[in-house]
Amino acid sequence: MATNARIVSYARAFAGLFMRDLYVLRREMFPFLIRVAMNPILFLFVFTYIMPHMSGGATLSPTAGSGAGPSFSTILLPGLMAVGIMFSGIAAVALPLAQEFGITREIDDRVMCPLPTGAVAIEKICFSAVQSAIAAAIVYPLAYYIPSTKPITHVTSWPFLIAVVILASLTSGALGLTIGTTVKPQQIGLIFGVVVMPITFLGCVYYPWALLDKMPILQHGVLLNPIVYMSEGLRGALTPALPHMNAALVLLMLLVFLSLLTWLGVKGFLRRVIG
């Protein structure tokens, strides 16, 4: 009975933290929407609307060869969704942690709730996953309607798509927790230039992973990048006609990265809070 009561108490405290963060997000919804939408809008407008009009409608697709093949917008749609998930997850955890671990030590107020300290870190991952899923839902219509040539999408398995979005969202939050608990608060801005941007451009966002076969060292090297599996998973779920990774491999690797980054993030969180 005591164990059940403790579980109920923990669940209520966890839900209370989650609802508090949800209330804060609702108050700051407009800045959140701007942060999520601005980058894909600019990228789509320039590369899939302005440039095709300047070139007479010529495709920018890296798979097009002599001009026949899928449009760049079709390749780009799942990649931009992956970027939206990744950026939102990192921003939702790493940036607030930089403030909470700062001079004011606002994190002390959060860990005073009746929850194990590690569960407070898990709540941050879960809440960031909600923001990442919202970001993916926002990016999809932008990537579909802005390009001059509409992308061709076809969902063959909704369970696979949902699983990829959930795992990718949780993984991005876990990565944000790892970054936020590893990097000093005054250096958090540097991480976006040194870590986030490189993993984005080498994350198969703008091209399918299979097309890296001409550069085998790079093709195998990027497999250490979690956003590769987010991009390839969404590509397989939304644009199955394009070359993409095996679905089982994508889910397995997202689970591996989620487990590893969660372990590293919670360990770092406990070190920073207790230390």
Q: What is the pLDDT of residue 98?
A: 76
Could you give the CA distance from residue 47 to residue 206 in angstroms, rounded to a whole number?
11
List, in order, residues 6 or more apart from 175 with CB less than 8 Å away.
Answer: 86, 89, 90, 226, 257, 261, 265
* Distance, first Cα to last Cα, the chain: 34
Q: What is the pLDDT of residue 146?
A: 84
pLDDT, tens digit, 9 for 90 and up, residues 52-75: 766 655 555 555 544 555 678 888
Could you give the CA distance from residue 157 to residue 237 in angstroms, rounded to a whole number?
7
Evaluate if residue 129 carries a pLDDT over 90.
yes
Backbone angles phi, psi at 114, to 5 degrees: -75, 65
Please indicate whether residue 194 or residue 242 has the higher confidence score (pLDDT). 242
Q: What is the pLDDT of residue 66?
A: 44
Please indicate whether residue 26 or residue 275 has the higher confidence score (pLDDT). 26
Q: What are the boundaries of each domain within the chain?
A: 2-274
Structural contact between residues 194 and 170, judged by C-beta atoms closer than 8 angstroms: no
Helix H or strand E encompassing 79:
helix 72-100
Could you give the CA distance from residue 50 to residue 39 in angstroms, rounded to a whole number?
15
Give 51's pLDDT tier (boundaries 50, 70, 90): confident
pLDDT, tens digit, 9 for 90 and up, residues 187-208: 777 777 777 788 888 898 888 9
Residue 138 CB coordination number (10 Å) = 18
Q: What is the pLDDT of residue 128?
A: 92
Backbone angles phi, psi at 266, to 5 degrees: -65, -40
Evaluate if residue 115 carries a pLDDT over 70.
yes
Helices 117-145 and 247-274 sit at what angle, rounded to 10 degrees? 140
Could you give the CA distance from residue 181 to residue 118 in angstroms, rounded to a whole number?
13
Average pLDDT of the residues in 119-144: 90
Please indicate whether residue 174 or residue 180 has the higher confidence score (pLDDT). 174
How would you label 251-260 residue by residue, b for 16+ Cβ within 10 Å and e otherwise? bebbeebbee
Least reliable range by pLDDT among 61-70, 175-184, 251-260: 61-70
Q: Identify the CA nearest to 117 among candidates 8, 258, 261, 13.
A: 13
Residue 69 CB coordination number (10 Å) = 15
Evaluate if residue 1 carries a pLDDT over 70.
no
